[in-house]
Chain A
């Protein structure tokens, strides 16, 4: 059973607000990922991290930022939320052994009004 958590699960917020989506894992995995998923669509990688103090942008351009100060924590921040940010955000982690097996959190469904 994977131990990766995301909070909040659901968030409705007004335009212009700053928000942080939390992601934590207790497996000691070095690699962590953020995906954006629209209903009925594929997942798009927006950020990833190799380990502490390492962050990279993914394939899909995103106005969000991430940080990786601790191994277990990989928060995603939107400085000024817009309706176009409405989506589901999924966090995942992977061990460093080239298993390519990613463990996913339950997701945060964000609605910006």
Chain B
């Protein structure tokens, strides 16, 4: 079993739709959580950190459920420019090892 698992998609949604991605992690000693975005043939870039209390950045909302060991990302009012692969990222307590999920592909259509 992979340490970080995501639904690979693709998710095909129309502009303006709301879409949600989930990610599960298997190591209960995980400490920090992030969502990264990767455009086609580009390097990943940080989208947002994920905090226990949940956090929001504009149209993006991230949630963490430690008891169930999953992380979610909600995108409201999808834009064409949101089309990308969204990577769930987990780091371990007491170290720097940073594990990426395989990513969820999103296509937003006009």
Our verdict on whether A and B bind, yes or no, reads no
